[in-house]
C-alpha cells in the first residue's frame, strides 16, 4: 500500500518478481510449471477500481457499498506475472492496430482519476498504440490480442510487465517501450531459469532502442545507445549470464549495467555481426514462433540464431554472454603515400576470465578534404596489422563511429620520427595540408619556385593548416 508522491493517490498492488509471489497467494514458484488460466475476483469500495490480468468479464455489486471486479485470462503465464492494482482509477482505453489492416487490440489504461494525469501523459499513453503496431510488424502480432494490453498506475520504481496489464509509475517513452516489449520477451517467452534473465531484460531493453529508431529518429536511438554504453562500460567484470550461486540475489539478477544495458548491447552486436536487418528480425520472429507460450534459455536463442543465419556464434556467446568485461583497443596509424598502415592492439578489462574478444570493428577514415570512408576490419588476435589503400590525405581515424560494439578505444597517429612535419597530397592541384609535430601554432609558411623565388606566403597559422594553392 503506497501513496503516489506526485498525484496523491493511494494504491494497493503486488510486486512478485522474482521470488515473492508466495508472499500473497499459494503458488509453486517454478518457472517450468506455467499457469494455464486465472480467474481473479477483487472486491473494493465503489469509489475504487481494480485492474488485473486478462479481460474484464463483469463488475458485480457486493455488500456494504462495494463492487467485485471479475477478471479472467486464458493465456499461459509464469507465476510472477499474476497481478492486480486497486486505486481511485478512471478507465482511459482505445484500440491499437496490429500488423494486418483491420486487426486491433484493446489498450486499457487504469490511470488515476485526475485531469492532471491526462494533461501530463495523454500523448505518451496514446503512443503505446503506435508501439504495439510497430512491434507487431517487426516481430509478430501482440501475443495476447484476444484479451488486451493495459497499464495500471502505481507509485513504484519504473514498471513491471505483468502479463496484459503492466503496473507502471508514469508513461515515459522508454519505460512504456520496455514494459510493452516484455509482453513478447519475458511474458510470451519467459526465461528458462533466472540465470538466463537476459532473455527477459536484455531483449526488452534493446526494444527501447528499436522503438526510438521506429518512432523517433536515429539520433534519438543513438542517444539511447550512447547512454547504455556508458553504463555498461562501468561493468569491467561480471557476465550477462548470472552465476548459479547468485540466482537468489535480486540485485544481481536485475543489475542495470549487466542484465539490462550490456544485455541490450549484446543484441546490438549480434545485429552488427549479421549485418543484415532482414535476417536479424527473422531470427527474432523464428525465436518467438518456436518458444512462444513457453520458456527459453540463451542457448535456445543461440540455436535459432545460428540456424537462421548460417553463422557460428559459439565464440561470441563464450566471450560476450558467459565471459566478462569488454575489449580495450589502442589503434596506431600512419600514412605512406596512398597506403594507410593500421596497428590494432587489444587488451581486456577482465583478462583472467576473458583474455580476448574476437570481433569485427569499423574504422571511419576522415580525409583532409572532408570526405569520409567507412571500412570494416576483423581482430582475430591481440595485435593485428592492416594495410589499406586510401583515397587522399588522411586527417584522422575514428574507431567504431556508430557504436556497434562495447569497447574503449584510443586512436594515435604515428608521425614520421625523422621529419618535422607531414603533408599532402603530393602532387597537389588545389588544397594542400600540413601538420607540424608538437606545436599548436605555425609562424609562417613560405612557398618558392625551383629558382628560390617566393610565390606564396602564409603567416600566423593554427596547426594543422589547409592551404588553397589552386592559383599556382
Q: What are the tens digits of pLDDT across the range 168-226?
A: 999 999 999 999 999 999 999 999 999 999 999 999 999 999 999 999 999 999 999 99
Q: In a 10 Å sphere around its CB, with 0-12 CB exposed, 13-18 middle and 19+ buried, how is residue 420 labelled?
A: exposed
Q: What are the tens digits of pLDDT across the range 240-288?
A: 999 999 999 999 999 999 999 999 999 999 999 999 999 999 999 999 9
pLDDT at 167: 98
Average model confidence (pLDDT) for the chain? Answer: 95
Confidence check: pLDDT of 407 > 80: yes
pLDDT at 366: 95
pLDDT at 463: 86
Span 29-55, average pLDDT? 97
3-state secondary structure of 15: coil
Determine the Cα–Cα distance for residues 171 and 153; give it in Å rounded to an integer.
9
- pLDDT-derived band at 422, boundaries 50, 70, 90: confident
- For the entire predicted model, the pTM comes to 0.90
User: Can you read off the three cell numbers belonging to residue 208?
Assistant: 527501447
Q: What are the tens digits of pLDDT across the range 265-276?
A: 999 999 999 999
Indicate the pairing of strand 327-336 with strand 408-413. Answer: parallel
User: Can you read off the three cell numbers belonging to residue 346?
Assistant: 587489444
- Candidates 334, 349, 355; CA nearest to 408 is 349
Confidence check: pLDDT of 338 > 90: no
Q: What are the tens digits of pLDDT across the range 108-165?
A: 999 999 999 999 999 999 999 999 999 999 999 999 999 999 999 999 989 999 999 9
In this structure, how many other beta carbons lie within 10 angstroms of the beta carbon of residue 310?
7
Q: How far apart are the first and last CA of the chain?
A: 82
Amino acid at each position: 500500500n503506497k501513496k503516489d508522491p506526485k498525484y496523491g493517490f493511494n494504491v494497493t498492488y503486488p510486486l512478485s518478481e522474482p521470488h515473492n509471489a508466495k508472499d500473497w497467494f499459494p503458488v509453486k514458484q517454478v518457472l517450468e510449471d506455467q499457469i494455464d488460466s486465472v480467474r481473479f475476483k477483487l472486491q473494493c469500495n465503489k469509489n475504487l477500481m481494480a485492474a488485473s490480468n486478462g479481460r474484464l468479464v463483469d463488475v458485480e455489486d457486493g455488500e456494504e457499498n462495494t463492487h467485485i471486479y471479475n477478471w479472467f485470462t486464458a493465456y499461459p503465464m509464469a507465476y510472477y506475472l499474476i497481478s492486480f492494482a486497486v486505486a481511485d482509477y478512471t478507465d482511459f482505453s482505445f484500440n491499437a492496430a496490429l500488423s494486418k489492416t483491420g486487426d486491433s487490440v484493446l489498450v486499457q489504461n487504469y490511470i488515476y482519476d485526475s485531469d492532471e494525469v491526462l494533461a501530463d501523459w495523454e500523448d505518451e499513453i496514446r503512443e503505446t498504440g503506435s508501439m504495439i503496431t510497430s512491434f507487431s510488424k517487426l516481430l509478430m502480432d501482440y501475443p495476447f490480442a484476444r484479451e488486451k494490453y493495459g497499464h495500471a498506475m502505481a507509485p513504484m520504481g519504473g514498471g513491471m510487465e505483468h502479463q496484459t496489464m503492466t503496473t507502471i509509475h508514469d508513461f515515459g517513452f522508454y519505460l512504456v517501450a520496455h514494459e510493452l516489449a516484455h509482453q513478447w520477451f519475458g511474458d510470451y517467452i519467459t526465461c528458462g531459469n533466472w540465470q538466463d534473465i537476459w532473455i527477459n531484460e536484455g531483449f526488452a531493453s534493446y526494444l527501447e532502442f528499436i522503438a526510438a529508431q521506429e518512432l523517433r529518429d536515429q539520433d534519438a536511438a543513438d542517444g539511447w545507445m550512447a547512454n547504455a554504453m556508458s553504463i555498461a562500460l562501468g561493468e569491467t567484470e561480471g557476465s550477462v549470464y548470472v552465476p548459479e550461486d547468485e540466482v537468489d540475489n535480486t540485485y544481481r539478477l536485475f543489475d542495470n549495467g549487466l542484465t539490462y544495458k550490456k544485455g541490450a548491447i549484446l543484441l546490438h552486436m549480434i545485429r552488427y555481426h549479421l549485418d543484415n536487418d532482414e535476417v536479424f528480425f527473422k531470427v527474432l520472429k523464428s525465436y518467438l514462433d518456436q518458444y512462444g507460450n513457453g520458456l527459453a534459455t540463451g542457448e535456445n536463442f543461440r540455436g535459432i540464431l545460428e540456424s537462421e543465419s548460417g553463422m557460428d556464434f559459439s565464440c561470441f556467446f563464450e566471450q560476450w554472454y558467459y565471459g566478462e568485461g569488454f575489449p580495450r583497443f589502442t589503434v596506431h596509424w600512419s600514412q605512406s603515400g596512398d597506403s594507410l598502415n593500421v596497428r590494432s592492439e587489444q587488451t581486456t578489462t577482465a583478462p583472467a576470465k576473458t583474455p580476448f574478444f574476437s570481433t569485427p570493428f569499423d574504422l571511419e577514415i576522415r580525409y583532409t578534404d572532408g570526405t569520409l570512408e567507412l571500412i570494416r576490419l576483423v581482430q582475430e588476435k591481440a595485435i593485428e596489422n592492416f594495410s589499406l589503400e586510401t583515397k587522399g590525405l588522411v586527417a584522422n581515424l575514428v574507431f567504431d563511429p556508430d557504436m556497434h560494439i562495447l569497447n574503449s578505444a584510443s586512436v594515435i597517429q604515428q608521425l614520421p620520427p625523422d621529419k618535422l612535419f607531414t603533408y599532402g597530397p603530393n602532387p597537389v592541384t588545389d588544397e594542400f595540408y600540413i601538420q607540424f609535430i608538437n606545436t599548436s601554432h605555425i609562424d609562417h609558411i613560405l612557398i618558392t619556385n625551383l629558382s628560390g623565388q617566393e610565390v606564396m606566403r602564409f603567416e600566423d597559422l593554427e596547426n594543422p593548416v589547409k592551404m588553397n594553392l589552386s592559383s599556382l
